[in-house]
Amino acid sequence: MLLVRPFDIEIGQHKVMLNIVDARERGLNPGDRVRVRAKGAATTALLDTTTQMVKPGEIGIFTEALKDLNNPVDVDILPAPRPASICHIKSLMDNEKLSEDQIRTIVQDIVDNNLSDIELAAYVTASYIHNMPSEEVVWLTKAMIETGERIHFDTHPVMDKHSIGGVPGNKVSLLIVPIVAAAGLLIPKTSSRAITGAGGTADLMEVLAPVEFSAAEIKEITEKVGGVIVWGGATNIAPADDKLIKAEYALSIDPYSQMLASIMAKKGAVGADAVVVDMPVGPGTKLPTADDGRTLAKDLIDLGDKLGIRVECAMTFGGSPVGRTIGPALEVREALTLLENKPGPNSLREKSLSLAGILLEMGGVAGRGEGYAAAEEILSSGKAHAKLMEIIAAQGGNPNVKSEDIVIGENCEEILAPAGGYVVAFYNKRLVELARMAGAPSDQKAGVIIHKKMGERVKKGEPLITICSSSDWELDSAVRDAKRSMPIVVEGMLLERYPRITEL
């Protein structure tokens, strides 16, 4: 028997620690699995070894495993086999074919936290290097759907929308969802929060209403008002993706087969019949060229076919922000302005109507080629606005909110054009960085207003952007950073000066 030393730290995994002497005596090595048996309870855990933290005769047990074992005083351990997944991950490394069962086993082990960081990273790295054949991607997608919660609607068709991302200010879901729902179609839109961006759709919607709901609640609200805009991370829909993101983020990679599967698994799990995929292409996006976009479109449509989901893809221009705002409150205000039929940016209106129009056509409520006009009618008539208010109310927000009610950070500063001329360079990523420095997305009121876009004419001293924040020191740091390296370049402008003046 080993005396338990409780390590009350949640580490997201069942883990135990043995003194290296005990481990050696048992022929165990770090990374092995052990079966831990206490009185009336047992669990399997990953083993680590130490020379100091636990003495011979002791075993350190972390929170997750302690719970399973009901906080025992002493335990027995036995070697346990490694999850079969590790063998299948090795096959993936060797670029061998995987069977449906093998893929399913890997996904189940990921969902159940049965893989160590090392094993998870090996899977992600091997997926990145070797693209899976399309048959395996289908199996992967199905496994991702089946290892989580699913929504089954009685009414059809169920519509959905996804954006590949990579373009800032992309608040189109705030217009598309109410337009589609107002047309009588169901659209249970789960979305993400920003990881490296200045605000995901979930961050935006949170300005207007709560966004954390269970799958059952999503179904209920969608059936009641036609649509939702919620945070997918609060559900257990396609949960493998959230675990994989950890390793993908750490390595800054987005394995292609895994991306296809993750997108379609989320759509399949909410029971979508038809999906439009927004594909921003252009410099600085995830799809630098139209050819990249076409390949992805073809693969997504093929994958959808095999899953029984109709997919249409729309390539959109991703070289500059959608609309003229970046940051949760600013973007929400801009979207509401358009829904209220007040003047607003054309890029946002056009893109939203085009994508919504495709969904109306796919959903059979508009004829082929007539979706845009139908969407426009729903927007102009105020039906889309009324529908968004219904959705806000159903999610527990204030249904009387108006664009002018949306509060923006009180600390704002304009960045002026240091020279006159045309805008000749426009750095999306810099704008996102500035919005984040100002506090977005956790400071909902922080962000960037864009006054001049690519190709526009600007006079010396005119504002290029305005940066806003709830905090004066965050605003200062963003402003200093903007001046040090301008996100928007006007021809003839001095780009840099040597020696650099770091404190302006």
Using CB under 8 A, list all residues that contact a copy of itself.
7, 9-11, 17, 24-27, 29-31, 48, 50, 52-53, 60, 63, 86, 89-90, 93, 95, 116-122, 124-126, 128-130, 195-196, 246-247, 249-253, 436, 441-443
| 161 annotated to a ligand binding site | no
Q: How far is the CB of 440 from a copy of itself (least distance, A)?
A: 8
Exposure on the CB side of residue 364, measured as CA atoms within 13 A: 8
d(CA 51, CA 57): 12
Residue with smaller CB distance to a copy of itself, 111 or 138: 111
Q: How far is the CB of 319 from a copy of itself (least distance, A)?
A: 24
Query: Quick one: angle between helices 215-225 and 383-394, nearest 10?
Result: 150
Q: How far is the CB of 417 from a copy of itself (least distance, A)?
A: 28
Q: How far is the CB of 281 from a copy of itself (least distance, A)?
A: 21
H helix runs in 340-370, sequence order: 346-362
Residue with smaller CB distance to a copy of itself, 72 or 441: 441
Give the active site residues. Answer: 254
Structure token pair of residue 276: 């439009």
H helix runs in 270-407, sequence order: 290-307, 328-339, 346-362, 371-380, 383-394
φ, ψ of residue 235 in degrees (nearest 5): -100, 180
Residue with smaller CB distance to a copy of itself, 187 or 287: 287
Residue with smaller CB distance to a copy of itself, 48 or 278: 48
What are the C-alpha distances in Å from 377 to residues 106, 351, 372, 373? 48, 15, 9, 6
Q: Judge whether 75 and 69 are in contact, CB under 8 Å.
A: yes
DSSP 8-state class, residue 56: T
Residue with smaller CB distance to a copy of itself, 122 or 315: 122
Q: How far is the CB of 295 from a copy of itself (least distance, A)?
A: 18
- Going by C-alpha positions, the residue among 269, 372, 364 that lies closest to residue 314 is 372
**Identity (one letter) of the amino acid at 479?**
V
Structure token pair of residue 490: 């006007």
Virtual torsion, Cα 359, 363, 366, 371, nearest 10 deg: 10
Q: Are strands 227-231 and 187-191 parallel, antiparallel or unpaired?
A: parallel
Residue with smaller CB distance to a copy of itself, 58 or 443: 443
**Identity (one letter) of the amino acid at 28?**
L
| 262 annotated to a ligand binding site | yes
**Identity (one letter) of the amino acid at 257?**
S
Residue with smaller CB distance to a copy of itself, 78 or 425: 78
Q: How far is the CB of 393 from a copy of itself (least distance, A)?
A: 27
Query: Is the Cα dihedral 58, 62, 63, 65 positive or negative?
Result: negative
Exposure on the CB side of residue 451, measured as CA atoms within 13 A: 18
| 382 annotated to a ligand binding site | no
Q: How far is the CB of 312 from a copy of itself (least distance, A)?
A: 31
Structure token pair of residue 184: 């009588």
- Going by C-alpha positions, the residue among 475, 466, 384, 398 that lies closest to residue 205 is 398
Q: How far is the CB of 249 from a copy of itself (least distance, A)?
A: 6
Does 441 sit behind a cis peptide bond, omega within 30 degrees of 0 on the bond before it? yes
Residue with smaller CB distance to a copy of itself, 255 or 271: 255
Q: Judge whether 92 and 37 are in contact, CB under 8 Å.
A: no
Virtual torsion, Cα 311, 314, 318, 323, nearest 10 deg: -110
| 179 annotated to a ligand binding site | no
| 197 annotated to a ligand binding site | yes
Residue with smaller CB distance to a copy of itself, 376 or 443: 443
d(CA 479, CA 290): 35
| 192 annotated to a ligand binding site | yes
- Going by C-alpha positions, the residue among 123, 114, 37 that lies closest to residue 82 is 114
**Identity (one letter) of the amino acid at 502?**
T
430 φψ region: left (φ > 0), alpha (ψ -120 to 50), beta (else): alpha
d(CA 320, CA 463): 17
| 245 annotated to a ligand binding site | no
Q: How far is the CB of 12 from a copy of itself (least distance, A)?
A: 8
| 195 annotated to a ligand binding site | yes
By three-state DSSP, how is residue 385 classified?
helix
Binding-site residue ranges for AMP: 166, 192-197, 201, 262, 286
